[in-house]
Structure 1
Amino acid sequence: MMAAPGASAGDSIRRAFLWACSLDVMVAKPGNVSMGAAGHGMTAELFLASAEASAPVLADAGAGVGARIERAVMCTRAAAGCNTNLGILLLCAPLAAACERLGQPADPARLHATLETVLAGLTVADAQAAYRGIALASPGGLGEAPDQDVAAIPTIDLRSAMRLAALRDTIARQYANGYADLFTVGLPVLRRQLARRAVWPDPLAHAVLAVYLAFLARFPDSHIVRKHGLAVAQSVTHQARAWDRHVATGHALDLPGLQRWDHELKLGGINPGTSADLTVACAMMAACIDPSLCLAFPALPRAGMERVT
């Protein structure tokens, strides 16, 4: 990962994480909380406060993946008082550990290989710490699992525990498959859309929306499944496919239409939170591969940029 002159790997990881988390709320994604559209009892300010509070521990040099997750959840709870970013932390902690190991310019293939090494090295202690973090975050709709339930103390390593949940949870599947969905779906879409910067008035927002819609169009959102059932999640995925096809064929997004869809989803209490989490992790991944993105496409409020540059 290319760090700015004089910056440590931790500084670069923290900057990439904050950039990605800021995009999460600065770009209005249907069903999600954004700067211009609160929802689900939360505001964008809570998400930004959570990101700022959790970034230092997520980028803590030498810390284990489970410890990063647990401590980041603790910092989030102290800053926001609720669960705003558990999925983001679960996805970004292994990514931060992999970027720390690289510590130099990395292409997607090298990052992918290093991330696989990090996942393969996860331990029972990582699982126990991550489970404590999940319990503290107290996400809604988890239900019970027949084996290695999050309410119990895990007896297997974190990757093995995630494999048990991979069929029902897209975030867990990333641990199982080495983040294949991010590398083969999200990252190519993001890079392709940013390469069209001369076409769109706001290429960054267009790219983030394109990634979000790509995930939502391909995978029934795990958060929706837990809260509302598979049928509702599949219905939202079906709606997303039309938008995804529109973007994939080079058309500009119908922003008023997306706003109407956002209103409909929030009116029904439907939040495609897992798709948003995958989008944040994808943006962080892109910024770890090419840190100049944070400068070419600034997303943080000015004060936030001054704190991380």
Structure 2
Amino acid sequence: MSVVPTPSARAAFLGACALDVAVRKPGNVSAVSPGHGMDAGLFLASARAAEAGLFAAGASVGERIEAAVAASLAVAGCNTNLGIVLLCAPLALAFERGGPARRALQAVLGELALSDATAAFRAIAAARPGGLGRTDIEDVSAPPTVSLLEAMTLAAGRDRIARQYASGYADLWEIGLPALAAHAMPTAPGRAPSARAVQALYLAFLGRWPDSHLVRKFGTAAAQRVTDEAGPWLARAEQGEDLERDPAFAAWDTSLKARGLNPGTSADLVVATLFLAGASSVVKSGPDPASP
């Protein structure tokens, strides 16, 4: 039986969204570096607007996605957080239910229905993410014929967010959380990760594979070039360097924005990882099993 979501899970989501734009993540919008026609305030307003839908007690994943996206679009007038909402809706329901987080999430994903896909497809079509294009199978412009998990599994090869649904959010557990733990993730309850840890987390995603948002908008070769550029910064972050001390890091941020390159999927994975880490530390769920 569902329970009312804890205020701490809500706070973890809002904190993750705030930290996402508080820290420079090259190519993404941040407080120190607006870009792509947007600024940090727009993302913060979108997060606050999405909160009620994401944490609506008893709501399904699809209902949470559709409500959160609609509220965000109403305040922002553009797509600021579709990927974040898609990733965080199943997590929000898992935290509402309680228990070991990974096991609870796997149960949520396994229960996704056609109705969830229908609501999510409407939300995606309304948000009109850049470079969405069309596909011959389960295109969001038409009503789905399969569950949301099945639809995401079909898209997993071309979209990293869809891959999280298909894999039980493996990238968060196997890459995201270890990156935070390795880079000064504070253990005291209520404390946020350091800026250095958030940048290392971002680079752990961007420096490993081409960002699927960039692939959709600019093609694999352009996305791979950004990953190649991120590689040396990832290596330096893994050595514990403070990247902000090097002016070249800010210059890379400026260069990406000048080229119109916004690694949005990597940023979405950062927010979802921060939400998972923050909510897991405040929701009394016990130890997670080693595998889903």
Tell me how far apart the structure 1 counterparts of residues 209 and 171 of structure 2 sit (CA, whole Å).
10
**Which residue of 29, 43, 68 maps to 1:47?**
43
203-212 or 45-54: which moved more? 203-212
Tell me how far apart the structure 1 counterparts of residues 222 and 126 of structure 2 sit (CA, whole Å).
28
For the residue of structure 2 that corresponds to 1:194, the secondary structure is coil
Give, in angstroms, the shift of residue 112 of structure 1.
Answer: 1.1
Partner AA of 2:41 in structure 1: E
**Which residue of 256, 259, 266 maps to 1:275?**
266
> Which whole-Å deviations, capped at 9, do the CAs of 1:90-144 have from their partners, x for residues lacking one?
0000010111111xxx6xxx21111111001000000000001111111111111
1:261 aligns with 2:252: yes
| Residue 286 of structure 2: aligned partner | none
Give, in angstroms, the shift of residue 203 of structure 1.
Answer: 5.8
**Which residue of 131, 153, 174 maps to 2:121?**
131
| Residue 282 of structure 2: aligned partner | 291
TM-score by length of 2: 0.91
> Which whole-Å deviations, capped at 9, do the CAs of 1:170-214 have from their partners, x for residues lacking one?
0000000000001000111112213479xxxx9611111000000
Q: 1:285 to 1:203 in 2, by over 3 A?
A: closer
**Which residue of 150, 158, 166 maps to 1:168?**
158
Contact 1:10 / 1:59 at 8 angstroms: preserved in 2?
no
Contact 2:185 / 2:197 at 8 angstroms: preserved in 1?
no
Tell me how far apart the structure 2 counterparts of residues 164 and 144 of structure 1 sit (CA, whole Å).
13
Contact 1:86 / 1:134 at 8 angstroms: preserved in 2?
yes
Contact 1:24 / 1:34 at 8 angstroms: preserved in 2?
yes
Tell me how far apart the structure 2 counterparts of residues 185 and 276 of structure 1 sit (CA, whole Å).
14
Tell me how far apart the structure 2 counterparts of residues 257 and 187 of structure 1 sit (CA, whole Å).
27
| Residue 295 of structure 1: aligned partner | none
| Residue 17 of structure 1: aligned partner | 13
Tell me how far apart the structure 2 counterparts of residues 157 and 290 of structure 1 sit (CA, whole Å).
31
**Which residue of 52, 55, 67 maps to 1:56?**
52
Contact 2:176 / 2:201 at 8 angstroms: preserved in 1?
yes
| Residue 5 of structure 1: aligned partner | none
| Residue 72 of structure 1: aligned partner | 68
Q: 1:57 to 1:203 in 2, by over 3 A?
A: closer
Q: Which ranges of structure 2 fall in alignment gaps of 5 or more residues?
A: 284-292
| Residue 299 of structure 1: aligned partner | none
Give, in angstroms, the shift of residue 241 of structure 1.
Answer: 1.3
1:220 aligns with 2:210: yes
CA RMSD of aligned residues (A): 1.7
| Residue 94 of structure 1: aligned partner | 90
TM-score by length of 1: 0.86
Number of equivalences: 276
